Amino acid sequence: MSTLKGFLHESTKYNDRMKELKEFDETKCGVKGLVDSGIVKIPKLFIRPDDELAEESNHGRSDIQVPIIDLTGINTDHDHRKKIINDLKQASKDYGFFQLLNHGIPQRVLDGMLEGIRRFHEQDADIKKEFYSRDRFKKVKYSSNIDLYQSSAANWRDTLTISLKVSDSVESNELPAACRSSTIEYIDQVTKLGELLLELLAEALGLKQEHLVSKGCAKGCTLVCHYYPACPEPELTLGTSKHTDPGFLTIVLQDQIGGLQVLKNNQWIDVQPHSGSLVVNIGDFLQMISNDEFKSAKHRVVANRVGPRISTACFFIGDIVPPKIYGPIDELVTQENPPLYKEFTVSSYVNKYSSRAINKSTVEDYKLQA
């Protein structure tokens, strides 16, 4: 194929794809709308590139588990607290992921949050459309695929996003009626848990308990409430592409269907649901300020023939307003262990992250040359 013919062919493919993306986006009905229409084949825009499909399957290893950490006695038993902190340290170094038991959030709050998100996504489409937006600065919005126009293949999910990046609170009338009370209660509980975990992780790094919280690492809470409909051809697509999280810490509430996988030693490991547990993972910012002491692991969600799968991820992304400069923590840097990353602000990092497909690493942009 000549250079000109090749260019025209690629240009036509690009234009066809953009047309298909816009048509899907303009329905404002998301993936749920496709499923409700009765499709038995997934549209081309969701099909992963041939090289990706040939390279790997959606199956993960279930014989290996991410660490499970029980917080029982965290504030009453000094010796047990030291063990928990050591377990958190090892999990954050080796996996970047762990599951929490007895974390303090009542089961009724967890169940209420999941049910509220289900109600939102399964309500009349015209009501949901009132919240549909691609404005990433909007406080409460519903959409499908934040990187729809940047990715090589769309993911099989819809999302309600609630952003507290600038304000630490949300007014009840700003939230959808379908999930209003349950969301407010969950936000209150999960933000307190996030502060506790960052205190424990600071101790795990050998820092003062208040170090990370005092630096604003528990600020900027953002909830992404995902709805993954059952997929007729799950082997061809993903629920969420491989990525790392822009933030310090992420706390995930998932239902019992499963599909979350973490990458370790180039193998995908299933993060199997445990009733009442929460999944926690280290974000890019904590990897960077810990100077690689902790790991922000790649993870993804596979599509499934059964569903819907429902999950809520709470990101703690730090101070945006006023801008705060973050970088490798002085106490963790020595002559033998020099800083590995440039300093950054949350907004500069998030702007880069949002300009590309989520499977493209932003961490690499901030690495210092050896």
- Per-residue tokens: 19: 């047309």
What residues of the chain score a pLDDT lower than 50? 1, 4-5, 7-10
Predicted confidence at residue 177, as pLDDT, reads 95
Predicted confidence at residue 165, as pLDDT, reads 67
Condensed to tens digits (0 to 9), the pLDDT of residues 144-172 reads 999 999 999 999 999 999 998 666 677 88
- What's the number of domains the chain is made of? 1
What DSSP string runs through 75-100? TT-HHHHHHHHHHHHHHHHHTSEEEE
Condensed to tens digits (0 to 9), the pLDDT of residues 79-109 reads 889 999 999 999 999 999 999 999 999 999 9
Structural domain of 123: 3-366
CATH number of the domain residue 319 falls in: 2.60.120.330
> Cα separation of 58 and 260, whole Å?
11
- Per-residue tokens: 156: 């099989």
Q: What is the pTM of this model?
A: 0.93
> Cα separation of 84 and 88, whole Å?
6
Among 10, 6, 30, 5, which residue's Cα sits nearest to residue 228? 30
Give how far Cα 312 sits from Cα of 24, 44, 227, 359, Å: 24, 27, 9, 20
Give how far Cα 124 sits from Cα of 27, 98, 119, 120, 139, Å: 14, 36, 10, 9, 22
Beta bridge partners of 267: 264
Predicted confidence at residue 11, as pLDDT, reads 52
Residue 158 belongs to what H/E stretch? Answer: strand 158-163
